[in-house]
Amino acid sequence: MFNIKEVKAHCDVPCGIYDPSTAQIAALSVVRMVDLMLAANNEHDASYHNDMSRYVAVKETEAIKCKEEICIIWGDFVKPPQIAEYPEIHTIVHNIMMLGGAAKQHASREKAMELLAEVNKFAEIFWKIKGVATKVAKSPYAPNEDVVYPVL
């Protein structure tokens, strides 16, 4: 009917919309939840237990979201030519997977910050692949940590 000889797509749905910002926000959320957990006190108060359970639940969800978003971009967008140019991307993704797991297992700000740092490394490579310059700036919300942003 359409006489189409060949069709090409780089992902499951050829939308071409990829952006590591969701993973960055998830990593920032992990840091924020750890900060709130570490600042909490009065463990004999019911509201403490309510707050703590919510912080843990959000931390878990955001760590998983971070890992999933990176896996999608790495698996669907990054191709052999980019891997040849940025061979460290496999190690960065592996580190994100491991640190996302560590973020779920612990209430460690150090591990949460390491997760954010690796996601930022990934974001920097992602934007280089797209030919977009980047800048580093503080996130405009708590935990106010450095994030790699595209210069648009």
The pLDDT value recorded for residue 4 is 75
End-to-end CA gap in the chain = 41
The pLDDT value recorded for residue 47 is 93
According to DSSP, residue 93 is labeled H
Query: Is residue 10 in some structural domain?
Result: no
Instruction: Give the 3-state secondary structure of residue 30.
Output: helix
Query: Is residue 6 in some structural domain?
Result: no
Q: Domain range spanning residue 142?
A: 21-150
Cα–Cα nearest to 134, from 144, 126, 124, 120: 124
Distance CA 142, CA 119 (A): 17
How many separate domains does the chain show? 1
pTM (predicted TM-score): 0.90
Distance from the Cα of residue 151 to its chain's centroid? 19
Structure tokens at 16: 């071409």
Average pLDDT of the chain, as a whole number: 93
The pLDDT value recorded for residue 16 is 74
pLDDT tens digits, one per residue of 22-38:
999 999 999 999 999 99
Query: Is residue 87 in some structural domain?
Result: yes
Query: Is residue 116 in some structural domain?
Result: yes
Query: Is residue 13 in some structural domain?
Result: no
pLDDT tens digits, one per residue of 106-147:
999 999 999 999 999 999 999 999 999 999 999 999 999 999
CB 137 within 8 A of CB 124: no
Q: At what angle do helices 21-39 and 89-105 cross, to 10 degrees?
A: 30
Query: Is residue 1 in some structural domain?
Result: no
pLDDT greater than 70 at residue 15: no
Q: Can you give the CATH number for the domain in which 33 is found?
A: 1.20.120.400
- Please calculate the CA angle 133-143-45 and round it to the nearest 5 degrees: 160
Query: Is residue 126 in some structural domain?
Result: yes
CB 23 within 8 A of CB 99: no
Instruction: Give the 3-state secondary structure of residue 100.
Output: helix
Query: Is residue 135 in some structural domain?
Result: yes
